[in-house]
Chain A
């Protein structure tokens, strides 16, 4: 079906993207000279259909820094498989030179130095330029948004997603699926979805009361492009009411529902679809498993777990494309569809180097318009960092260490818990920390920083429960986030063990004493999924803390010891 030759074409496209020479210098000037917009966009148009995939933008309208994880462990069948390969191992796997633009865009290691050279990434005005260039090659290319778009910034919070809807509408997507959007609450989601000029898809979005497909979201949409009848099937995040507060959208039920996915694939094939695309917010490992169970999907455009892969992963006759997060990448997938079958593909993951790609003037003006009412609040400098602040990693990140410190200090707690979310841009050493930066890692509709008591025994249950959501060997039982971050609490984790046996040696760091199962500990945290949570919003807690510190100096975090790799 997909010949070896077509796979080689893909690899060659990736090699062209990655480049092999001249990118060794870390100087910004060198980066700009070596890397051109034409080079980033270079693509021999192939076949008769083009797909453009963006996903997990998390409301990042402007260019940002974003450090990819150095710790992203796979378990079970995914141990050592992409996307669970990081840093130098990742570069070796894909033949990426150290210090090259691809190193900076796709992997961790030397991040601060490379960021100083290559500059910021993303910005929807740059993304617009890339989309326009692809549309110049292929005017009827399909633009598909994998969701997590209407969440994650100061302006998105204050406009209840309107800023993102306005800018995305101007990019003219053809379809979208969902996750964090639902945390705007069902009423707001209904209002925004009803006004969308493109398809809102989710075959797994069900009415909770009747357990039948929800009326507001279609399972799929047909498109005629390049003479090909294409079906795009949506797959929303399966565990919305579990990972996020279900009480905010009680009308809806989700789940993977792969048997219903198979029904939808069979239905669209019966109606003459020659190409079946799944626009998914499952997360990469779940998509991989689903691709092995559901037959008849040609392309899965994968979102949720924020992985950026320079080549698609093939499972049977299905290719899975992972397009990163935070506006950092755009994927272009050209397909040759003939006689009702996908005969070949050519793919390129295009990194959005913001200093290299010219912003689209119209979208840039539209973005400025969304931000103008908040300009002063966004730009206010709260403090400064002399180290790297980042979030991604299975167990901790320096942003979360800072948030946990803020909770311990401002909420006078012994232990802090911070959710293992994967969104939020990075800051490089020497940068000012603005209010916008703080909101970039804290913005959400359930931000209350609670202060409570938990027994040692219950803390262990929390850690075991969350660990199983990441390290259950069956991807269908994973939720796609990272481990809950702890402040004031150290522990050992053996990721190869079953639930209940992974966490040992829990220690109260302040005293070095073992956590007593029977004792009550004062715990501060945020982002509780429980209704009625009380406390000041986390961004206020973090802002006060940074203001008091003046300059933030992130230290290495050694509180978690990982075994069973």
Chain B
């Protein structure tokens, strides 16, 4: 008798979060971005965000950011209750402007990385990570 009731409820909860993504979460992320960039334009090149298309485990999703010449990279999970994930700061002696970590995602959502460059410009990359119940592979 599987898919015990408890598991079903756990799955249900995770999925509800995924589907019931409140629009205000996005807006909250927008505020954080505005505070980081001061509302400046963001280029769509100069930063690479690597994340899985579908998370194997939404509780620990490996991501990687890289932005040569950046002084700071901010990472946000727009669909999480608290969108900011991390801000990496690179000093002038940093050999590369690259970081990798694992983040927790409440459900399917966009992960965003924004780099602040040494010249004060900004670049943004975004990737949709799907968190799924899983099931039936061919």
Distance A446 CA – B108 CA, assembled complex (angstroms): 27
B53 close to A452 (CB less than 8 A): no
CB-defined contacts of B100 to chain A, threshold 8 Å: 211
Among B48-100, those with CB < 8 Å from A are 50, 52-54, 56-57, 62, 100
Min CB distance B17 to A, Å, is 11
A423 close to B1 (CB less than 8 A): no
* Interface size class of chain A, counting residues whose CB lies under 8 Å from the partner chain: 35 or more
Residue of B nearest to A475 (CB): B53
Min CB distance A410 to B, Å, is 14
Among A187-212, those with CB < 8 Å from B are 208, 211
Within 8 Å of chain B (Cβ to Cβ): is A481? Answer: yes
Within 8 Å of chain B (Cβ to Cβ): is A435? Answer: no
Distance A253 CA – B64 CA, assembled complex (angstroms): 16
CB-defined contacts of B133 to chain A, threshold 8 Å: 461-462, 465-466
Residue of B nearest to A411 (CB): B1
B2 close to A239 (CB less than 8 A): no
CB-defined contacts of A255 to chain B, threshold 8 Å: 52-54, 56
Interface string of B1-25 (1 = CB under 8 A from A): 1111101100110011001000000
Within 8 Å of chain B (Cβ to Cβ): is A421? Answer: yes
Min CB distance B101 to A, Å, is 11
Question: Contacts A448-B2, A476-B53, A534-B2; is A461 near B12 (CB within 8 Å)?
Answer: yes
B7 close to A530 (CB less than 8 A): yes
Distance A208 CA – B57 CA, assembled complex (angstroms): 11
Min CB distance A69 to B, Å, is 11
Residue of A nearest to B50 (CB): A259
Within 8 Å of chain B (Cβ to Cβ): is A535? Answer: yes
CB-defined contacts of B138 to chain A, threshold 8 Å: 283, 304-306, 420-423, 479-482
CB-defined contacts of A243 to chain B, threshold 8 Å: 134-137
CB-defined contacts of A468 to chain B, threshold 8 Å: 130, 132
Question: Contacts A211-B62, A458-B12, A464-B19; is A533 near B136 (CB within 8 Å)?
Answer: no
Question: Contacts A211-B62, A532-B2; is A461 near B136 (CB within 8 Å)?
Answer: no
A469 close to B19 (CB less than 8 A): no
Interface size on B, residues (CB 8 A): 30
CB-defined contacts of B19 to chain A, threshold 8 Å: 461, 464, 499-500
Interface string of A409-424 (1 = CB under 8 A from B): 0000000000111110
A452 close to B4 (CB less than 8 A): yes
CB-defined contacts of B1 to chain A, threshold 8 Å: 450-452, 534-535
**Segment at the B interface, from A116-124, A311-319, A345-353, A521-529:** A521-529
Q: Summarize A's interface: helix, strand, loop or mixed.
A: loop
Distance A455 CA – B13 CA, assembled complex (angstroms): 13
Distance A464 CA – B19 CA, assembled complex (angstroms): 10
B137 close to A481 (CB less than 8 A): yes
Distance A364 CA – B12 CA, assembled complex (angstroms): 50
B3 close to A239 (CB less than 8 A): no
Distance A86 CA – B12 CA, assembled complex (angstroms): 36
CB-defined contacts of A464 to chain B, threshold 8 Å: 19
Distance A31 CA – B97 CA, assembled complex (angstroms): 66
A452 close to B5 (CB less than 8 A): yes
Distance A393 CA – B54 CA, assembled complex (angstroms): 24
Among B121-138, those with CB < 8 Å from A are 128, 130, 132-138
Distance A528 CA – B4 CA, assembled complex (angstroms): 11
B7 close to A469 (CB less than 8 A): no
Min CB distance A140 to B, Å, is 32
A244 close to B137 (CB less than 8 A): yes
Distance A525 CA – B133 CA, assembled complex (angstroms): 15
CB-defined contacts of B11 to chain A, threshold 8 Å: 458
CB-defined contacts of B56 to chain A, threshold 8 Å: 208, 241-242, 246, 253-255
Residue of B nearest to A242 (CB): B134
CB-defined contacts of A476 to chain B, threshold 8 Å: 53
Residue of A nearest to B60 (CB): A208
A484 close to B136 (CB less than 8 A): yes
Distance A422 CA – B19 CA, assembled complex (angstroms): 28
CB-defined contacts of B2 to chain A, threshold 8 Å: 448, 450, 452, 528, 530, 532-535
Question: Contacts A450-B2, A530-B2, A532-B2; is A465 near B7 (CB within 8 Å)?
Answer: no
Distance A482 CA – B56 CA, assembled complex (angstroms): 20
Interface string of A521-563 (1 = CB under 8 A from B): 0000101111011110000000000000000000000000000
CB-defined contacts of B12 to chain A, threshold 8 Å: 455, 457-458, 461
Within 8 Å of chain B (Cβ to Cβ): is A184? Answer: no
CB-defined contacts of A223 to chain B, threshold 8 Å: none
Among A435-460, those with CB < 8 Å from B are 448, 450-455, 457-458
Min CB distance B74 to A, Å, is 22
CB-defined contacts of A304 to chain B, threshold 8 Å: 138
Min CB distance B128 to A, Å, is 8
Distance A304 CA – B137 CA, assembled complex (angstroms): 9
Within 8 Å of chain B (Cβ to Cβ): is A230? Answer: no
Cross-chain contact of B8 among A180, A420, A454 (Cβ < 8 A): A454
Distance A479 CA – B12 CA, assembled complex (angstroms): 21
A477 close to B137 (CB less than 8 A): no
Min CB distance A76 to B, Å, is 14
Residue of A nearest to B3 (CB): A452
- Chain B positions within 8 Å of A, measured between CB atoms, are 1-5, 7-8, 11-12, 15-16, 19, 50, 52-54, 56-57, 62, 100, 108, 128, 130, 132-138
For the complex with contacts A241-B57, A528-B3, 20 further pairs of A-B residues with Cβ separation under 8 Å are A211-B62, A211-B100, A243-B134, A246-B56, A253-B56, A255-B54, A255-B56, A423-B138, A448-B2, A458-B8, A461-B15, A461-B133, A466-B135, A468-B130, A474-B53, A477-B128, A482-B138, A528-B2, A530-B7, A533-B3
- Nearest 3 A/B pairs, CB to CB: A243-B137, A533-B2, A419-B136
Name 18 interchain pairs, CB-CB below 8 A, sorted by A: A242-B132, A243-B136, A243-B137, A253-B56, A255-B54, A306-B138, A420-B136, A422-B138, A450-B2, A452-B3, A452-B4, A458-B11, A461-B16, A465-B133, A474-B53, A477-B130, A499-B19, A500-B19
